[in-house]
Structure 1
Amino acid sequence: MDLRISSATAPLQGAGLARRAMAAPQNDASEVGFSSALKGALQSVSAAQNRSSDLQKEVQMENPAVSLEETMVAMQKAQIGFQATLHVRNRMVQAYTDIMNMQV
């Protein structure tokens, strides 16, 4: 399985999936739900973290094909993606708590 990031906005692809899922007409053949959009977002964040880790290891082994700049950018992308994921998780937990505390 290839886990490389193909573009500069790869960690944010999950957000695009979520927007398309909300805007897409309900079609049985191409239905994209919240869970699949969330799964895609988590996979892209994980891929960014894996790539960052791999680049860090290559820089530590002094691989001339890997630049320090590329590694630092990959690390920042992974960090931003993780922070965004953490904020989404916190919002979901807060929404769940609010719903569970509602009086019926």
Structure 2
Amino acid sequence: MSHSVTSILSQIRSYQTQVTQPVGPLETPQTNALQGLAAPQDVQGASFTDTLRGAIAGVNEAQQKSGALARAFELGEPGADLAKVMVASQQSQIAFRATVEVRNRLVQAYQDVMNMPL
């Protein structure tokens, strides 16, 4: 189970790095530093909510893909073989379990903080 939690955490970190990357080549801090200008402060880091929302959307997408493949296999469509259906099903199941584990750990951390004496 810890491998799946590690996988979800690495996905969250990759989403975070994708969001915090500059948009264009003129907006990089190195270019601005070379020109003697201060780096723009418009680009902020991704919030935890946005990162978590992106990870949950990924899990939802995996579950929808798995369901669509299962329906296609049941209907006998030529592109859906049993191996693809089973792999997609296992991927979505592992992603969901990892998400539940992350949620459980977040709730436990919240409870620990709330029970701390002042």
Select the residue among 65, 70, 87 that pairs with 1:51. Answer: 65
1:60 aligns with 2:58: no
- Any conservation in 2 of the 1:45–1:82 contact (CA below 8 Å)? yes
15 and 49 in structure 1: CA distance in 2 versus 1, 3 angstrom threshold: farther
Query: 1:4 maps to which residue?
Result: none
Q: Return closer, same or farther for 1:69/1:15 CA change in 2, 3 Å cut-off.
A: farther
Cα RMSD (Å) = 2.3
- Which has more radius of gyration? 2
- Residue identity over aligned pairs, in percent, reads 38
Structure 2's unaligned 5+ residue stretches are 1-6, 22-40
Q: Give the drift of 1:67.
A: 1.1
Q: Residues 11-48 of structure 1, C-alpha deviation per residue, up to 9 Å, x if partnerless? A: x6334224x38x97xx5325311111101000000000
Structure 1 length as normaliser, TM-score? 0.76
Q: What one-letter code is carried by the residue in structure 2 that aligns with 1:98?
A: D
The aligned counterpart of 1:74 is: 88
Structure having the higher helix fraction is: 2
List structure 1 runs of 4+ shifted beyond 4 angstroms: none
TM-score when normalising by structure 2? 0.67
**Aligned residue pair count:** 90
